Amino acid sequence: MNWSVRIGSLVMPNPVTVASGTFGYGVEYARLLDLNQLGAVVVKGIRLEPVRGNPTPRTVEVACGLINAIGLQGPGVDGFIEKYWPFLKTLQVPVIINIWGCTVDEYAEVARRFDALEGVGGLELNVSCPNIKEGGAHFGTDVRLLEKVVAACRKATRLPLITKLSPNVPSIVPFAQAAEAAGSDGLSIMNSFPAMAIDIETRRPRLANITGGLTGPCIKPIAVKLVWEAARAVKIPIIGMGGIQSAEDALEFIIAGASAVAVGTANFYEPQTSLHVLQGIREYMQRHGIEDLKSLVGAVKLPRV
Amino acid sequence: MVEQDVIILANENFTGQYHRLVLQADRIAPQAQPGQFVHLRIPLLREALLRRPFSIYQVKDQTLSVLYKTVGKGTHQLARLKPGQMMNAIGPLGHGFTVPASPQIRPLLVAGGYGMAALYLLAERAPRAGVVFVGGRKQGDILCEAEFRALGWEVRAATEDGSYGRRGLVTLPLREELERDASGVRLYACGPTPMLKAVSALAHEFNVEAELSMDEHMCCGVGVCLTCVIPVRTSEGWEYQRTCTEGPVFTANSIAWEVMA
């Protein structure tokens, strides 16, 4: 049985990873599950300098979902290397570092810094965080800017690049194609949806940031559709994500066209979810006699027209 | 920190809206320290995904209990669960209270409502008994008085409506005690944020140490999501730290109160 996934020169031993921002820097969950069973570990977004993050409240639970506006709090490149890399570099599975910046130059600089760090598995470009005013989101919603960012990072590093696309666009196809053309080795689809919740008693927004990004099972069908659309338009592999709680959820993404999947919000309430998903995919492959998971990627049967 | 399935041994009404949940948690209970919490996945909670955090109240061998108030859909569903049912727990979590190292330290505990629960293990494990100041809106909010007295602690209650103990806020009798004698005192508090802020101001005024258990909205409970942060002083100013990991207990003078909303 083969279920390894290749993204550029990055090889995931299996198709299940975790979504950036839902798994900290790995070390926090190391006592609850064996990280070396995952296909890869994706860490929370890092920019050049430390980031303080947004005021609280930062998250609000909604029906079958969660809206967050954390504001990419983080230790910066140096803080990350000092505090978290000594643990992460001991992992046997690839570590993918999610990076972002407020300018094209900053993206490239962060990419360069991690290029110089021994043992990094790959970089995921966060061009789509909805919670940062000065950067992030507009790189994911302007196709020319997206191309520029990806091209600049491509020049700055030989590491595999995965571009995490924004769902907040009229069509994901030109963005997926632009990232591919600019040298991205893979795509992560998708980030959270802009959303809002209001306390009707106080009439105040439930988030200090007013709006945030919606994640969790309620977004899964939308994410599956975006993966399906992008997969038909590009050749590079896609990591599908959005509300995955079970192997069944993950398999939908794979059949829609994702080569790998990431568990996100479910980590917050069931930390073992990624391992259960992995086990369920194995059982499905055995039950359906699937030798190579690649044969299932994009295998959705469409009605004849 | 471990994740395990636990069995509900008891889930009963304590008083008014307050309930006590007793869990068979053989891997969590023996590790529990004063001020730590458990993160519970409430079964059959429709549409709501997240775990709910609860301060650990009492621990006996392989069992632990928590007190909760029915306030939202999570706690209302929790109140419907019956003995024998299973649920999943992660714990013990968080950085708790520092148990006084010697009987030289005179512990004064300050609780608002079911903040009493988070202080019980500390009272039980302290090398000497002290006074616990407990406040609430009305008599029904004063919990666990008998339990603390059974440990040899003095309990002084205050209610805002005057239906029990002193009329007014709990910080009133606390202030009187500090004015009487603040020598060797260390304060430990758990309750609503305005109460903790007032305790912090008293600690500063009387130059005593205070440890506060901060009650922040929580999501993952294990330090990943960065939901439950509060501003904490650093050499360069302040930074957001996690109530679930660096806390819930912080020293009063480490909190950047001026930044908090």
The 10s digit of each residue's pLDDT in A31-90 is 999 999 999 999 999 999 999 999 999 999 999 999 999 999 999 999 999 999 999 999
Mutate to test the interface with A, among B220, B236, B241, B255 (most CBs of A within 10 A): B220
Q: How confident is the model at residue A100 (pLDDT cuts 50, 70, 90)?
A: very high
Residue burial A146-182, b: 16+ Cβ < 10 Å; e: rest: bbbbbbbbbebbebbbbbbbbbbbeebeebbbbbbeb
Q: What is the pLDDT of residue A194?
A: 94
| Contact indicator for B58, B121 with CB cutoff of 8 Å | yes
> How much is the ipTM here?
0.93
**Euclidean distance between CA atoms B119 and B130, whole angstroms:** 12
Residue of B nearest to A43 (CA): B224
The verdict on B41 touching A (C-beta cutoff 8 Å) is yes
Q: What is the pLDDT of residue B260?
A: 87
Q: What is the pLDDT of residue B261?
A: 67
Closest residue to B3, CB basis, from A21, A267, A271: A271
Q: Which residue has the tokens 């690049």?
A: A161
Q: How confident is the model at residue A128 (pLDDT cuts 50, 70, 90)?
A: confident
Q: What is the pLDDT of residue A132?
A: 58
The residues of A annotated as belonging to the active site are: 129
- DSSP letter string, B26-95: TTTGGG--TT-EEEEE-TT-SS----EEEE---EETTEEEEEEE--SHHHHHHHH--TT-EEEEEEEESB
Residues of B in contact with A197 (CB under 8 A): none
CB contact under 8 Å between A56 and B50, yes or no, is no
Q: What is the pLDDT of residue A31?
A: 93
Q: Between A and B, how many CB-CB pairs are < 8 A? A: 86
Q: What is the pLDDT of residue A133?
A: 54
Q: How confident is the model at residue A223 (pLDDT cuts 50, 70, 90)?
A: very high
The 10s digit of each residue's pLDDT in A236-288 is 999 999 999 999 999 999 999 999 999 999 999 999 999 999 999 999 999 99
Residues of B in contact with A208 (CB under 8 A): 261
Residue of A nearest to B259 (CA): A55
Residues of A in contact with B223 (CB under 8 A): 24, 28
Mutate to test the interface with A, among B50, B77, B224 (most CBs of A within 10 A): B224
Which tokens belong to B64? 């632990």
Q: What is the pLDDT of residue A129?
A: 59
**Euclidean distance between CA atoms A214 and A69, whole angstroms:** 9
- What is the helix (H) or strand (E) element at residue B18, kind and residue range? strand B18-24
Q: Give the CA radius of gyration of chain A.
A: 18
**Euclidean distance between CA atoms A81 and B129, whole angstroms:** 46
Q: What is the pLDDT of residue B14?
A: 82
**CA neighbor of B222 nearest in space, from B95, B121, B117:** B95
The 10s digit of each residue's pLDDT in B142-192 is 999 999 999 999 999 999 999 999 999 999 999 999 999 999 999 999 999
**CA neighbor of A247 nearest in space, from A221, A215, A220, A284:** A284
Residues of B in contact with A22 (CB under 8 A): 224-225
Q: How confident is the model at residue A131 (pLDDT cuts 50, 70, 90)?
A: low
Residues of B in contact with A52 (CB under 8 A): 239-240
Closest residue to B1, CB basis, from A31, A66, A270: A31
Residues of B in contact with A21 (CB under 8 A): 225
Q: What is the pLDDT of residue B75?
A: 94
**CA neighbor of B249 nearest in space, from B92, B102, B136:** B92
In the predicted model, residues of chain B with pLDDT beneath 70 are: 261
Chain A interface with B: residues with Cβ < 8 Å: 21-24, 28-29, 31-32, 52-53, 55-59, 61, 63-66, 68, 70, 73, 208, 216-217, 265-272
Mutate to test the interface with A, among B50, B93, B217, B225 (most CBs of A within 10 A): B225
Q: What is the pLDDT of residue B45?
A: 86
CB contact under 8 Å between B225 and A268, yes or no, is yes
Residue burial A114-144, b: 16+ Cβ < 10 Å; e: rest: beeeeebbbbbbbbbbbbbeebbbebbbbee
Q: Which residue has the tokens 């994009």?
A: A298
C-alpha distance from A250 to closest chain B C-alpha (Å): 18
The verdict on B86 touching A (C-beta cutoff 8 Å) is no
CB contact under 8 Å between B226 and A70, yes or no, is yes
| Contact indicator for A170, A204 with CB cutoff of 8 Å | no
Task: Calculate the average pLDDT of chain A.
Answer: 95
Facing residues of A212 across strands?
A: A195
CB contact under 8 Å between B49 and A65, yes or no, is yes
The verdict on B89 touching A (C-beta cutoff 8 Å) is no
- DSSP letter string, A238-301: EEEESS--SHHHHHHHHHHT-SEEEE-THHHH-TTHHHHHHHHHHHHHHHTT-SBGGGGTT---
CB contact under 8 Å between A32 and B226, yes or no, is no
C-alpha distance from B97 to closest chain A C-alpha (Å): 21
Percent of chain A with pLDDT over 90: 93
